[in-house]
Amino acid sequence: MTAAAGVETLGELEVIGFLQSAVSAGSGLLIDVRMPGTFSSGSVPGAVNVPVATFLPDNPYRADLLSALGVSNPETAPGFAGAFTLAIFGNGPDDSTARDAIQHLLGAGYPAAKIKYYRGGASTWSALGLNISVGQ
């Protein structure tokens, strides 16, 4: 199942590469869209928690979120030149929250080229025995 046309899907090695390149350079964010309680019980190291509900169009703080993601003028004429490249994930391949967040970002005009989807999510990451950060 794909996230959306033009959105690259990542495997575990690509997520590690994304952390080593884009995140460490300050141009990318690894975003866990699960609820805070689930996130704090364990997530991919280096991920930040931005629950899927914050991406909804009716969230009164969505413009603030887009601004924090580097979008200029999010309420009037959004500019994405300085926006972060995002790698988004949820719990796993059967969890639709990451795909939903991606659809909401695309609906806000966020360029597909600046969005990546880690389909495996936290459950696959953990099942493969990769390190998990707890209580971030």
Whether 2 is covered by a domain: the verdict is no
Q: Is residue 48 part of a domain?
A: yes
Would you state the pLDDT for residue 131? 79
Task: Identify the domain containing residue 116 by its residue range.
Answer: 8-127
For 59-112, how does the pLDDT look when each residue is reduced to its tens digit (9 = 90+)? 999 999 999 999 999 988 899 999 999 999 999 998 899 999 999 999 999 999
Answer whether residue 120 is part of any domain. yes
Q: Is residue 25 part of a domain?
A: yes
3/130: higher pLDDT: 130
Q: Closest by alpha carbon to 111, among 4, 31, 1?
A: 4
Task: Please say whether the beta carbons of 50 and 87 come within 8 A.
Answer: no
Has residue 3 been placed in a domain? no
CA–CA distances in Å: residue 124 to residues 6, 14, 50, 96: 23, 14, 19, 15
Residue 115 has pLDDT above 60, yes or no: yes
In a domain, 22, yes or no: yes
Q: Which domain CATH number covers 82?
A: 3.40.250.10
Our count of domains for the chain comes to 1
Report the predicted TM-score, pTM, of the whole model to 2 decimal places.
Answer: 0.92
Q: Tell me, what's the pLDDT at 130?
A: 86
User: For residues 51 and 35, is the Cβ–Cβ distance under 8 A?
Assistant: yes
Mean pLDDT (the chain) is 93
- Torsion from C-alpha of 66, 122, 124, 83, nearest 10 degrees: 20
In a domain, 84, yes or no: yes
